[in-house]
């Protein structure tokens, strides 16, 4: 079968990649990309040479943190939890266009301290080949800290990541993309713990209403909701009931983005300002 041959070929490349390193410390976000990396590290290197590391940051959804812990328990993976302090850094909390660079710099600096206790280990991340064509300042931080990306280095794109995760029966193979909560705040508007909490609380409410994939963009006192196009009508019908709840959270105005959910939508401001 051509599909099976493709998977076999990809796994041959990945197996060869991992067997060239003595151990891997994977920056784990709870998403499917880094989950696949740590799973493969565990598979090819063994438990003692494959460690996941996640940052318990205010910009990480509590649900994603708990899912990451559960994933590691399910797959017998050692998990280290660190507390990065990017929110106290002006290079991050002022929300410049390269905010992600500041965030990843904090993460990889803290990872390097963990690596100091793991001789020979290499820092890994979940960057796939599709990510290389997107605006991702964090890639620069990864390069500066010698963080390796087995997926992109082996030519594995996002679709293949999900296919491989499904092949191995990983519980999060179809998990929707879950960017950090700070990505909901327009560039130039400060990132605060209060805003991150408001966004998370609002998105939890939407999930409870059945909107599995939703973004709440934070425009001061306005919450602008994005859901996939097929769910727009349902969201509009639910809006009269959603607005009072969002008002209690701190949003005096709640609107629906009629374009629907578009990942990285706030990055458009970068090209428009050029």
Residue with the two structure tokens 């964090």 = 138
Work out the angle between the directed axes of helices 158-167 and 32-45 (0-180°, nearest 10). Answer: 50
Q: Which of 181, 175, 140 is nearest to 158 (CA)?
A: 175
Residues 29, 88: Cα–Cα separation, whole Å: 20
Count CB atoms within 10 A of the CB of residue 155.
Answer: 12
Residues 200, 194: Cα–Cα separation, whole Å: 10
CB 51 within 8 A of CB 78: yes
Active site residue 180: yes
Distances (CA, A) of 209 to 8, 19, 58, 125, 235: 40, 45, 24, 33, 9
Backbone Cα Rg of the chain: 19
Exposed, middle or buried: residue 271 (CB in 10 Å: 0-12, 13-18, 19+)?
A: exposed
Choose, from 100, 103, 154, 180, the residue flagged as catalytic: 180
Active site residues: 180
């Amino acid at each position: 079968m051509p599909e099976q041959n493709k998977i076999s070929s990809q796994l041959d490349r990945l197996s060869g990649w991992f067997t060239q390193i003595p151990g891997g410390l994977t920056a784990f976000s709870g998403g499917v990309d880094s989950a696949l990396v740590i799973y493969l590290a565990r598979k090819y290197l063994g438990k003692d040479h494959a460690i996941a590391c996640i940052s318990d940051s205010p910009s990480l959804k509590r649900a994603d943190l708990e899912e990451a812990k559960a994933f590691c328990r399910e797959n017998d993976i050692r998990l280290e939890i660190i507390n990065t302090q990017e929110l106290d850094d002006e290079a991050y909390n002022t929300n410049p266009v390269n905010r992600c660079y500041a965030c990843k710099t904090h993460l990889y600096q803290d990872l390097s301290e963990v690596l100091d206790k793991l001789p020979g280990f290499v820092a890994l991340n979940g960057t796939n080949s599709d990510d290389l064509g997107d605006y991702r300042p964090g890639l620069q931080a990864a390069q500066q800290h010698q963080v390796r990306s087995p997926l992109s280095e082996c030519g594995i794109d996002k679709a293949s990541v999900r296919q491989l995760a499904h092949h191995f029966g990983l519980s999060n193979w179809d998990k929707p993309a879950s960017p950090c909560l700070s990505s909901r705040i327009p560039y130039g508007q400060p990132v605060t713990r209060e805003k991150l909490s408001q966004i998370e609380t609002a998105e939890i409410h939407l999930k409870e209403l059945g909107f599995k994939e939703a973004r709440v963009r934070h425009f001061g006192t306005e919450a602008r909701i994005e859901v996939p196009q097929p769910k727009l009508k349902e969201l509009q019908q639910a809006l009269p009931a959603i607005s009072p709840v969002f008002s209690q959270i701190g949003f005096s105005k709640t609107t629906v983005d009629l374009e629907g959910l578009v990942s990285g939508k706030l990055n458009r401001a970068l090209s428009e300002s050029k």
